[in-house]
Amino acid sequence: MPNNQPTAPPDPRTLGELRANGYRHRTVKEEARENLIRKMRAGETIFPGIIGYDRTVIPQVQRAVLAQHDFILLGLRGQAKTRLIRSLTGLLDPYIPIVDSIDIPDDPMEPAFGVTRRVIGEKGDDTPIRWISREERFQEKLATPDVSVADLIGDIDPVKVMSRRLELSDESAIHYGIIPRSNRGIFAFNELPDLQPRIQVSLLNILEENDIQIRGFPVRIPLDLMIVFTANPEDYTNRGSIITPLKDRIDAQILTHYPRTLEEAMEITVQESRIPNFEEGGAIVPDYMREIAEQIAFEARESEYVDQGSGVSQRLAISLYETLHSAVEHRMVLQGSNKEIARMCDLFHCVPAMTGKMELVFKGEQEGLVTVSHRIIGQAIRRVFDKHYTPKRGLGPAKKIDSEPFREVVIWFEKGNQVDLSDELPFNEYFSRLRKVEGLEKVTRDVLKPEDDLHLAAAMEFTLEGLVQHYLVSKKYDLDTVQYVDTVSDMMRQL
């Protein structure tokens, strides 16, 4: 199979030179298909940066491309739909030729537009050629209720009609919309259900027969396009729907999903997060804290307080991870240190990164966004705590932990002792207060094996927080302070 892929704009600058160079016309879908086959045989990464779809979504997209289908990605928000369709440009040739001086991309060997044919008819082999990159061949449109047929397909241009004395049925009288201007490339429609049904009707012939009609004047233009769509299932009931004839003409419907494993989610978050680089030291986020940040998104997707039809985007975990870093950096700046580690109290300061990314059901609205967020954070902490402290027991949310390894810690609190912590405490004071809890350092070292005092202090607070989630220790909030106290004494005090 010939590899028609120059890495820089080739030399031919006229139609004659292009013919002499042996260039052959291929449709966009043929081009994508051949390049996909070549990449698959070479073992190349087809869609770089797309994580967690290797066995599900990506093979289905590949099959759609091989079948030369237009397709739709159907999934909840934050499932990399837009990123995936933008990655389709990697299946296009680096450069292709079009006729110069024509504002709509058109293949000089198989021209679709009348204006292109006229130029070639006048200039013949001297027709000037220019080369466009694969990035220039991708156009994207967010489907909103205010989009019109003129925006997408085109309309009669009265200025052209008057100045050139054209007939209204003349193709030159048309001011083309974004779809014809995407000829020889990929056109992507985001959030298709938001498009009004009468506008969706205008896409029917584009997908099936390549016929367009403007103001009652039929104009046949064999557009060369790959059209892809994205949609959120929730939109079908909340804001609109895809009309049945249009769904019938979309060749393939591919379902996307959220990350299936914690490891995949963490890989996505690290890839997408904007974390500053520090020359020395810097903000440290231990592995268990990263796991908690990801587990929060997983817990939110299962929470009875959160509207699961709306979904919980992976952006929640990304924003939370970035906010956690910034909370540590904030303390570094205030205390003039060059190295700090994330504390559990920092995690609860990340609530603003969560509240805008969860839609609550009525029960959740009664509880309140902050209360629901704290509950979800607590559930995530418990999951990760159980993973590290009881890895073989497979504890679930309703199971109790064996309190024997923590007996010395619990007894210390039963004696009436308490620990007051805050994110503003200097490290030495923070560490000193935690070390007063009898048995806490030993059980933390035995399980988490921290590498230094910085990691040990943060891990000790994580252990305390895990005991809170298992009701072996209680926690009270003040404006600036978190107090860890005995559970029974706190209950009696409340009574």
Closest CA to 484 of 423, 409, 410, 419: 419
Structure tokens, 47: 């869609």
Cα 177 to chain centroid, rounded = 29
> d(Cα 355, Cα 320) in Å, to the nearest integer?
10
Tens of pLDDT, residue by residue over 161-173, are 666 666 655 666 6
Structure tokens, 31: 């081009």
Q: Are 206 and 246 in contact (CB under 8 A)?
A: no
pLDDT at residue 26, as a whole number:
93
Q: Which strand (E) or helix (H) includes residue 353?
A: helix 352-355
The upper half-sphere exposure of residue 51, i.e. CA atoms within 13 Å in the direction of its Cβ, equals 17
pLDDT at residue 1, as a whole number:
41
Structure tokens, 164: 């050139």
Q: Could you list the mean pLDDT of each consecutive 10-residue stretch along the chain, which spans 495 residues?
A: 55 89 92 96 94 95 96 92 95 94 88 88 92 94 87 74 63 78 93 88 78 64 90 64 88 94 94 76 89 95 91 93 93 90 91 91 91 94 93 61 90 93 92 95 94 95 95 84 82 62
Structure tokens, 158: 């009265």
Please spell the DSSP secondary structure of 465-494, one letter per residue: HHHHHTTSEEEEE-SS-EEEEEHHHHHHHH
pLDDT at residue 263, as a whole number:
94
Structure tokens, 108: 């000089």
* DSSP letter, residue 400: P
Residues 6+ apart with CB under 8 A from 84: 47, 50, 53, 57, 61, 73, 256
The CA-atom distances, in angstroms, between 157 and each of 103, 164, 176, 373, 431 are 15, 11, 9, 54, 74
- The amino acid present at 75, given as its one-letter code, is G
Burial label, 94 (beta-carbon count in 10 A; 0-12, 13-18, 19+): middle
Please spell the DSSP secondary structure of 128-190, one letter per residue: BEEEEEGGGGEEEEE--TT--HHHHTEEE-HHHHHHHT--TTSGGGEEE-TTGGGTTEEEEEE
pLDDT at residue 384, as a whole number:
95
DSSP-assigned beta bridge partners for residue 306? 360
pLDDT at residue 240, as a whole number:
62
